[in-house]
Every structure is written in structure tokens, then in C-alpha cells.
Structure 1
Amino acid sequence: MIWKKGLTVFSAFVVAGSVGIMAPTVQASESTSVSIAGNDMPHHIVEGGDFKTATLRPDRLLETYRLTKYDVIDIQVIGLPEGAGMSDIMIGPDGYAQLPYVGSVKLAGLTLDEAKAVLMERMGQYLRFPDMSLIMRSYGPRKVYVMGEVGSPGIHELSADNLNAYAALSSAGGIKRRGRSTQVQVLRVVGDTMYYKTLNIKNYIKKHDLTQNVVLQDGDIVYVPRSNGIKLDEDVLPYVNVWAMYKALTK
């Protein structure tokens, strides 16, 4: 991002449909971390985060895949009879799955290995068994926000095997001529922090730099600024507002 030296307190106003939202008050310096005030807003914007390079090999999808709402899994526990209430387990819209013996367990955001470890620990309090395996039955829809200088900005649904920044941009009609393909921003909220990563999509296309395409998660924002650069207050914060409003309306 381009940070203005000595940036002081400011606010922005955006309109989504017929709804007006006042942007949060922000104070920033030359640091890459910004604090934000607001109940439904992420409290910080930080450069970096757990952005994985997208793989072109579908057989490696499950290595980086993270469970999300409406995914359906089977849990096979060694020592329990087949079909003992562990098939077709759907993760709910709140990220939790309802399981026999242990009740509600949050699985959204975890890899299959991480989910297995959580379930082994929780179920081990009630049952004795040597091992278990998790099997994907079906993938829930993934929706990402593609904003800025693209052909069709808005919310786009991607399949699990095409959940990456380049696919999201392609789904949105590609980058417009006045869009800055060397400064594409990917934003992700984890807890009270919004992380961002800058991608050079031009190098991804022309120089085959595979590091410039990352795996997305449900709810990520992909933003293409105009060619004159990125300003936090004008380019990013309005979309943080839209994100916060959407999350509030879909809780």
C-alpha cells in the first residue's frame, strides 16, 4: 500500500445500494499496521498473514485446503461401527459442526489435519480409539469480493479447485486498462485483524511468477486500484465498510 507520511485522522463515506455507512476513524503513520475503531470492524490492518501460494496441481488441493461453512465431511473412527452418526457432517454457517458424543465443534478455518487433531482431542475425552480419518464429501460455495478496476465488480462464487486470486479476477471480467495489475490487494479478516498482501498479477501472467497468485478463503476481498496508486482512505477502507455491513447482515 502507499502510505501518506504523517497521515492524520480522517473518515470516508460510502453508499452500498441505498445504505450509507460512515467509515471508521483511522490513524496511521509510516507503519504497516493501522488501528480502526468500530464494533463490527476489524480493529487493525496489517501487512502479511497466512497467504499460501496457489498450486496448479489439483492432487495437492487438500494440503492447503481449509474447511468452511457448508462443507460436508465423513469421519471414520477406527473401532466404531460404520455409520455410527459420523457420516455427512455439515459445517454450519457459524463454522461449527454438530457431532455425536462431543456436541458443537468449530471446524471452519482448519485444514483436514488440524480438524482431525481437534476431533481426536475432543472425542478422546469420551471414547477410546486408535485413530480416525476425515474424508471430504462435498465442498460448500466460496464467495469472494472482487472490487475496483475489474469488468464486473461484486461478490463472485468460486469452486474449491479454483479458489485463487487470478481465478477471482478472471471471474470478475479481468482487470480494466486503467487498473494497476502490479498492485492488486488481497485482504482477509482473521479475528479482529484485517491482513493484506500485494500481488503483481502482471508478473504472474507475463513472467509466470507463480508466487504472485495466492489461495483465497471464503469472504476474502480482491481489490484492483487505479493506475495512479493506492490510498488507504480512498481505496481500501470503503471496502472494509462494505465487508463489515455484509457480515452484519448475514450473521
Structure 2
Amino acid sequence: MKNQLMSKQIQRLSLSVALAVSATHGLPRFVAGALAAELPQVSNQALPVSSGASSNSATVSSLSDIYVLGPGDAVTIAIFNVPEYSGPQQVLADGTLNLPVVGRVSVSGLTLQEAGNRISSAYSRELRYPQVTVVLTAPRPLRVAIAGEVSRPGLYTLTPENNAQFPTVAQALQTAGGVTQAADLHRVQLRRSTGNGPVQTITLDLWELLNNGNVRQDLALRDGDAIVIGETATVNIAETNQLSASNLASNVDQAMTVAVVGEVFRPGAYEFGSGASNAAGANTPSNKGRTTVTQVVQTAGGSKAS
């Protein structure tokens, strides 16, 4: 009976607890009770996947994965039977290659095959039927924009591992400090510029990656990509716990501010996290896991008897 009473008190208090925390600290912006009209809907059921998610695999398949050259790329030019014109080259800051005899040839924004055709055309004035092959030997660092529900949104420079393996969406999110608890991982937007073509936008379901190991949702990035993570409309307790245990989550030890109002002995704003101090000036014990409603209520002096 005592446990049931305590449970009811916590439920009432949870409607008066405001987690007024910015997304930069990786926590949901739940504002309740007198501080907002209503809480987001809480559910223990799986979030419904949008109708567009059923065609997500086809959308992923249609995304252009062709590498286009840009300043900083290291390539090897091989001209058949003409070793004196062949050899390593690097795309210059203006997007050109400085080639023997023919001089500068613009290759920025071209695929490797297109670059080979353009170089072949340039050498056609000097050689008869030149056969040119362009091989990417060391890709340039990638500039990727990350926005939305991540700890540190901004522009990041990512370097391909061993000059071969391109960074993925998950690795980029980890570099940005992880996603917040309010992130909608069912609908992660990846926007890609395809040279002179239109910008492609697809929706990834990173929950498929976490739940089923579907690595097709964790796409390799290209220079100029943008990742946008929106805020979820509902709170799924099971998924929140699963996200917190994954390596995509933000640092749970970061300090956060929690405002408590209602039937508690010491309402007010409290700091949680490593080395944080509360409104009364006392240090709040650091916790290794996520801050819970029970911990918040205890810090606020406990609930008043109804």
C-alpha cells in the first residue's frame, strides 16, 4: 500500500518536473505542469514508423554513392603506353590537375571516369587515342554539417580511415558528441550534393541499426553531406533506455539543470551531473547513469504527503 501511494505521488510530481535543458547537453526538453501546456505523450510501445519508412531501403539504394573529385584529392594518372605522362597527382585548390605537356585540367566535381575522359580529351592533341585511367589513392578530408538533436551541432572535418574507409553517419554523430534523448532516430535526414545535380535528401532509420544491425542505414559520408536530426514527438521509455546504453547517446555525465515545482519540500532549480551544485549551493552527488525522476524528487527534499 505504501509503495502504491509513493508511486502515485511520483506520478503527480512527474507532471510538475520541468527538465529545462538545452539540446547541447543531450537531454530532452520536457516542460510540464505550470511551465507548459502539456507533457509529450509517454508510451512503452514502439514508435510507429512513418509510411515513407517502408520504402526506405529503395531510397537508400537510390542515393548517389559515386565519389566526385575536389581540392586535396590524391590520384594516380595512368596513360596506356605513355609512362612519362603517367604518375601521382593532387587536385589543386582551384580544382585542377597540373599535368605534363597539357598543363592544368579542371576535374573538380567530376567522377573518376569523367576526369579520365576529360584528361584523355586534353591529351588527344598530343597523343593518338589516349587511354587514361584515374585512380583515387588518398581522398580529401570530408566537411560534414551536423544539425538538430546532437550535443555539439556544427561543421566537422572528418578524415577517411587509412585513406580508404569513409566515415559513416554513426561515426559523425559520435564525433558531434552523440544524439540527445529527444532525437528522432527513426527519421534522420541525410542531404547530399551531387556535383552539378540537385541535392538528394533521404531518410535513415538508425533504430534499424541499433535493433537489427542493419548497416545499410549507416551510410558512408561524402564531402559536403549534411545530417539533420529532428526532435521526436513522443517519449518511448524503452527506446530511451536503449539509446542511453548505446554509443550514439550523448555523454550522460554532462551537467544539466532540472526545475522542480509542485508538491515537494524544496521546489526550485537543481544541477545534476559531475561536480554540479544545486540551487541551495550544495553539491549534488554525481551519477554514472541517467538522472531519474526519483533522484530529482529526492534532491528536492522528497514529496509532501497528500
Please tell me the TM-score bracket, short chain as reference: 0.5 to 0.7
2:223 maps to 1:218: yes
AA in 2 matched with 1:69: P
- 2:192 aligned residue (188, 196, 201): 188
CA distance 1:93–1:196, shift in 2 (3 Å): farther
AA in 1 matched with 2:133: S
SS at structure 2 position matched to 1:162: coil
- 2:69 aligned residue (60, 67, 73): 67
Match of 2:206 in 1: 201
- 1:169 aligned residue (170, 173, 176): 173
AA in 1 matched with 2:181: R
Match of 1:51 in 2: 63
Residue 177 (structure 1) shift: 0.8
Match of 1:134 in 2: 134
**Mapping of 1:1-251 within 5 angstroms?**
51-52=63-64, 64-82=66-84, 84=85, 86-128=86-128, 131-160=131-160, 161-189=165-193, 190-191=195-196, 193-228=198-233
Q: Which entry has the higher C-alpha Rg, 1 or 2?
A: 2
CA distance 1:126–1:49, shift in 2 (3 Å): farther
CA distance in 2, matches of 1:52, 1:81: 33
CA distance 1:99–1:168, shift in 2 (3 Å): same
Match of 2:262 in 1: none
Match of 2:248 in 1: none
What's the C-alpha RMSD, in Å, of the aligned pairs? 2.9
Which sections of structure 2, spanning at least 5 residues, go unmatched? 1-58, 235-306
CA distance in 2, matches of 1:173, 1:209: 22
Match of 2:53 in 1: none
SS at structure 2 position matched to 1:75: strand
AA in 2 matched with 1:67: L
Q: Percent identity?
A: 26
Deviates more, 1:176-185 or 1:148-157: 148-157
Count of residue pairs the alignment pairs up = 171
CA distance 1:154–1:178, shift in 2 (3 Å): same
AA in 1 matched with 2:98: Q
Residue 148 (structure 1) shift: 1.0
Residue 129 (structure 1) shift: 5.3
- Measured against aligned partners, the alpha-carbon deviations of 1:87-107 in whole angstroms (never above 9, x if no partner) come to 342212343323234443332
Normalising by structure 1, what TM-score?
Answer: 0.58
